[in-house]
Amino acid sequence: MPLLREQTYTIDDIYNLPEGTRAELIDGHMYMTAPPSTAHQRILHFFDRTIGNHIADNHGECEVFPAPFAVFLNDDDKTYVEPDISVICNKDKINEKGCLGAPDWIIEIVSPGSKRMDYYTKLALYRSAGVREYWIADPQRKTILVYDMEHDDGPVLHSFDDKVKVNIYDNLYIDLKNMIQTG
């Protein structure tokens, strides 16, 4: 009996999804994503605002993009992700469709359905693509797991009560106490 062949998807399949349907594509496998919770959106807004203000106040070269924002990590049509926060410092990577290549810093906010994806699958994907820094914010555990992949350090676990150094910047510390606490 022949083995059943698993379907391989491409970026065209992502763009052909019905309006409002969110999905990511990793090595040709499509992963549907659920709508974010209020806690997720509060954390996303905090990081977007905090990082964006730092960049503006310091006349920085980087840009911060909250989800949904397309990131094409590989030079193929089989991988497409929408990190919750993407910080990109090389303007040549940005075009009208999104980011071509690895952002410098990615933050993913864990939801009940994304734990395995954020802690394992995306960690390996982002590391191999050349992401310099990866944070995993877990509202349920009230923790931030920081991977300094540029220096091959980590992981370092922080609570939502900590002040955390951003490794890709010399002068950015994010005081997580200022983040809206989620219940």
Amino acid 5: pLDDT: 61
pLDDT in tens, 7-40: 899 999 999 999 989 999 999 999 999 889 999 9
> Residue 146's Cα: distance from chain center in Å?
12
pLDDT in tens, 77-131: 999 999 999 999 999 999 999 999 999 999 999 998 899 999 999 999 999 999 9
% of the chain beyond a pLDDT of 70: 95
- Banded model confidence at residue 42, pLDDT cuts 50, 70, 90: very high
What would be the CATH architecture of the domain defined by 11-178? Alpha-Beta Complex (3.90)
Domains in the chain: boundaries: 11-178
Using CA atoms, how far apart are residues 21 and 151, in angstroms rounded to an integer? Answer: 37
Return contacts of 96-102, CB within 8 angstroms, 24+ apart.
97/70, 97/72, 98/69, 98/70, 98/71, 98/72, 99/65, 99/69, 99/70, 99/71, 99/72, 100/72, 101/72, 101/73, 101/129, 101/130, 102/71, 102/73, 102/126, 102/129, 102/130, 102/131, 102/132
- Banded model confidence at residue 3, pLDDT cuts 50, 70, 90: low
Average pLDDT, the chain: 93
